[in-house]
A and B are shown apart, each in its own frame.
Chain A
Amino acid sequence: MKNDNEAIRAEGIVKRFGDLTVLRGVSLAVKRGEVVCIMGPSGSGKSTLLRCLNWLSPPTEGTVWLAGEVLGTQETPNGTRVPLPDSKLRRQRSRIGMVFQSFNLWPHRTAIGNVMEGPMIVSGITKSEARRLATEILTRVGLTEKADVYPAKLSGGQQQRVAIARALAMQPEIILFDEPTSALDPELVGEVLDVMKSLATQEITMIVVTHEVGFAKDAADRILFMDEGLIVEEGSPSEFLENPKEERSRQFLERYLN
């Protein structure tokens, strides 16, 4: 399983909610610096997969490795696997960033406050160091002048860029994006995608659930197509977007390309 070049690997991920099986055995591996886009119809399990990958919602079956290290569980001396103690799980989670469709900024903290929170409270660096780091990261997402503004006074695009900065501030090994632009007005989508494209060129490992075909074409190394809880097709952007093999992919793309 050990592969130095691998940021994250998942094998046989099954997720059930009661009687409902949402993921039916998903496996994937993402190399360091790789950008993988996940597409698929609504309800196919894309969000659920991302939430399994950072153990926000632990899978029912299957294993996830973060840089070769098993996520969320540990082996006991007698060979069974048990949930990892909370403190260790938290340390693993801090290595995986997540950007949500609905931003989820903390409304009682300013833009910079949101970005500083992780380094200060989770990593335990001093406030002044955290401020310096956060300022630098806000510059990277083009929001230097909005540092002291509360989220409610920011546009959706700006909020999402702050959320990206918040994830970046933990210096994660990989960032998961769950439809980062689908809650945005069309004219605000571009500024967020531009930030994400610049991250893609900076060798940041990303898994992006998105229906933005343009972004996938420009930034992705690989596209995974999900349907009914399985990855049904996988390929380079040009292969997948121009010449999908599966009928389901073709139908899906027809809807989104037009």
Chain B
Amino acid sequence: MFNTELFFNSVPTLATAAVVTFKLFVCCVCLSLMFGTLSVMLQLSNNRAGYWLSRTYVSVMRGTPLLVQLFVVFFGLPLLGIKGQAFLAAALAIGLNSGAYTTEILRAGIQNVPVGHLEAAASIGMSRLRTWTRVVLPQAFTVSLPALTNEFTIVLKSTPLASVVAVTELTYAGVIIQARAFSAIEVFLPIAVGYIVIALSFTQLARWLERRLRDFHT
């Protein structure tokens, strides 16, 4: 039996929770890009300490469960004086975790940039930092876009993990309603649709970007 009343009553709560999921997703993607970019720059910038810092970061993030990382961040933040910030902890943990994969994706993209492009930059007197931001990274991002899109759809599907630190995102909202109503299908069907809507909007955006950037690679 499909309980239409339950279905319609859940919609407002789920819509609010979907907004939380969306915000969490956006934060995670931004943090992942930030950590990934920083880490790959450290790794490839001829600085030994930077290299090892970045390699260690990648190994730790790839070698431990995301759930454990989330707990470490969630219980670690209060030690730094930041209390009661479940959303921040979740965004930080997922962003840090994904940043390790972003590092590796960008590294492949960067190693694809011909040395000649760097020499051209050096020959006009461009600084190292500017060469990174104006020559290397724009090209690396373009080449890496399909792989990054893939990584970020995985990030979206990691966001329900935030429920373990009591962030009321889409999945957790569903669990709460379902526990009260003893009925699941009316709740989790719209939840699935919610994720698909976010994922599809994101991949469409990425494909649009890819098409625009492909202009100059063909």
Q: Contact at B127–A108, with CB atoms within 8 Å?
A: no
- Residue A44, interface by CB 8 Å: no
Q: In this complex, what residue of B is CB-closest to A151? A: B216
Interface of B is mostly: helix
B147 to chain A, nearest CB (A): 18
Among A75-114, those with CB < 8 Å from B are 86-87, 90-98, 100, 102, 104-110
A155 to chain B, nearest CB (A): 15
Given contacts A150-B215, A151-B216, A152-B218, is CB(A104)–CB(B127) below 8 Å?
A: no
Q: Contact at A97–B216, with CB atoms within 8 Å?
A: no
Given contacts A102-B116, A121-B134, is CB(A108)–CB(B216) below 8 Å?
A: yes
Q: In this complex, what residue of B is CB-closest to A54? A: B123
- Residue A179, interface by CB 8 Å: no
Q: Contact at B138–A91, with CB atoms within 8 Å?
A: no
- Residue A166, interface by CB 8 Å: yes
Q: Give the residue among A90, A97, A121, A153 with the most B Cβ atoms within 10 A.
A: A121
Given contacts A107-B216, A150-B216, A151-B216, is CB(A91)–CB(B125) below 8 Å?
A: yes
- Residue A125, interface by CB 8 Å: no
* A100-B121 Cα distance, complex, nearest whole Å: 12
- Residue A134, interface by CB 8 Å: no
Q: Contact at B126–A107, with CB atoms within 8 Å?
A: no
Q: Contact at B120–A100, with CB atoms within 8 Å?
A: yes
B119 touches which of A86, A104, A107, A122 (Cβ 8 Å): A104
Among B127-159, those with CB < 8 Å from A are 127-128, 130, 134-135, 138-139, 142
Q: Contact at B124–A93, with CB atoms within 8 Å?
A: yes
Among A208-245, those with CB < 8 Å from B are none
Among B94-134, those with CB < 8 Å from A are 114, 116-117, 119-128, 130, 134
Q: Contact at B119–A167, with CB atoms within 8 Å?
A: no
Q: In this complex, what residue of A is CB-closest to B142? A: A108
Q: Contact at B134–A56, with CB atoms within 8 Å?
A: no
- Residue A117, interface by CB 8 Å: yes
- Residue B217, interface by CB 8 Å: yes
B125 touches which of A106, A108, A170 (Cβ 8 Å): A170
Q: Contact at A90–B127, with CB atoms within 8 Å?
A: yes
- Residue A40, interface by CB 8 Å: no
Given contacts A93-B124, A121-B126, A170-B125, is CB(A106)–CB(B119) below 8 Å?
A: no
Q: Kindly list chain A residues whose C-beta atoms are within 8 Å of the C-beta of B127.
A: 86-87, 90
Among A173-224, those with CB < 8 Å from B are none
Q: Contact at B217–A107, with CB atoms within 8 Å?
A: yes
* A166-B213 Cα distance, complex, nearest whole Å: 22
Q: Kindly list chain B residues whose C-beta atoms are within 8 Å of the C-beta of A152.
A: 216-218
Given contacts A107-B216, A151-B216, A152-B217, is CB(A56)–CB(B119) below 8 Å?
A: yes
- Residue A157, interface by CB 8 Å: no
Among A3-57, those with CB < 8 Å from B are 54, 56
* A91-B122 Cα distance, complex, nearest whole Å: 10
Question: Could you pull out 9 A-B pairs where Cβ atoms are within 8 angstroms?
Answer: A106-B117, A107-B139, A110-B216, A117-B134, A118-B124, A122-B124, A122-B126, A152-B216, A152-B217
5 nearest A-B residue pairs (beta carbon):
A94-B125, A150-B216, A104-B116, A98-B123, A104-B120
